[in-house]
Amino acid sequence: MNLRLSGVLVLPLAAQLAVAGEWVAFNDCVDTTPASTPANATNFGLGRSYLGDGSSGNLIDFDTGADTGVTVTFKENFSTGNTINWAQDYADFTPGTDAAEIFGGILDPTGNMSYNDAPGWSLDLTISNLDPNISYTFAATVHRNGGPDYASRISNWTLNGAESATYASSAGALKVSETSTEFSTGDNVDGLVARWTDIRPGADGTFSLRTTHGIGSAAGGIDGADAYRGYGGGLFMLMAQAQDTPHITSITYDDDLKSATITWPNLPGQTYAIDASDDLVNWDELEGNPVITGDTASFTETDINAPGGRRFYRLREL
C-alpha cells in the first residue's frame, strides 16, 4: 500500500520512492547526536535539560540548505508538577513502518519531549510565515521505547488553524476526527505517524499542531489511555507541496521487476519529462516517452538500483 507523505509518495518496499515537492524540512526535537545529524536538519524544541537551538526558529530546505522563511515555535501549556522534560531515552525505527520510511536515514528517533505530571498539559507547535496560497504536508512521530508496559502512554495530535487539510495518519493510528489522531507513543514499535496532506494555512499564513496525552475513550480517544503520561513530540517533517499542474498522483513499485510506474493527469497537447534522483541533489532526466491513456499519463522506470534504498521523482512540463 502506498503511504502518502505530503507531495511525496513513499512505498514501504525494498526501494523507497518519492515525488519531490517544492521543499522539505526535517526537525529533530530531541537531537541527542548532533554530530551525526544532517547539516540541513534543525533541532528546535524545549524541555528541562534541552540542548538544541531554541524553541523557535526558521526551517531549512533539506535539499539546498536554504532558509525556507518558515518559522516554527514551540510553547508549553503547563498543568502542574514538573514541566515537560527533554528526555534522551534510546529508540530506533522498526523497518518498513511509516516512521522509518519518512525519517529513517535522516533523523535519529532517540529522545522525546515528555509529559507534565498531571492531566491537562499540552504542547503547541505553531508554524508561521507560510504561503496561504499553496499546500503543505506535515508528519510527526515519537517513540519512548518503553516496551509493552508503556503501551497505555498515548499521544493525541490535533491540527489547528488550517483552512483545510486531508487526514493521512498511519492506518494503525486512531482517527479521532479529520483534524485529530492518537496512538501509543510509549511503545510505538509500529512506527505510527500523525500526518496531514494538502494543508492550506489560515489567511495569516499559520497553522499549528497541539500534542497532549490521550483524551480518553469518552471523548473518542483510545480506551485505557494513561491519564497524563504521553509524549509531546520527537521528530517532524514539513513539506511545501509541488504546485505544478499536472502533478504526480501515484507511484507503483514492482519489487520483482525492480520497476516504478509514475502516474499523473494528462493535459491535451502537453509534453512532459520525468527526472529521478537518489539524493534530492543530483537529478537525471529519464529517457523514453510517457504512455498516454485518455486523461492519464504514466512513465515506467525499469532496472532500478537505488543506493540507500531511496528514489525520488519529479515531473516537468516541456
Write out pLDDT tens, residues 52-98: 999 999 999 999 999 999 999 999 999 999 999 999 999 999 999 99
Q: What CATH number does residue 301 fall under?
A: 2.60.40
Write out pLDDT tens, residues 222-241: 999 999 999 999 999 999 98
Domain shared by 143 and 284, yes or no = no
Report the DSSP pairing between strands 67-77 and 56-60.
antiparallel
Domain shared by 219 and 144, yes or no = yes
What is the pLDDT, as a whole number, of residue 245?
Answer: 57
Residue 281 CA to residue 303 CA, distance in Å, equals: 21
Residues of the chain with pLDDT under 70: 1-21, 242-246, 308
222 found inside a domain? yes
Among 206, 222, 240, residue at a domain's last position:
240
What is the pLDDT, as a whole number, of residue 8?
Answer: 35
Domain shared by 271 and 289, yes or no = yes
What is the pLDDT, as a whole number, of residue 193?
Answer: 98
Q: Are 94 and 12 in contact (CB under 8 A)?
A: no
Burial (CB count <10 Å: 0-12, 13-18, 19+), residue 134: middle
What is residue 80's three-state secondary structure? coil
C-alpha cell at 27: 526537525
The sign one gets for the Cα dihedral 277, 278, 282, 287 is negative
Domain shared by 233 and 255, yes or no = no
Domain enclosing residue 300, as ranges? 250-317
Domain shared by 259 and 235, yes or no = no
268 CB-near residues (< 8 Å, 6+ apart): none
As for how many domains the chain has, the answer is 2
4 found inside a domain? no
7 found inside a domain? no
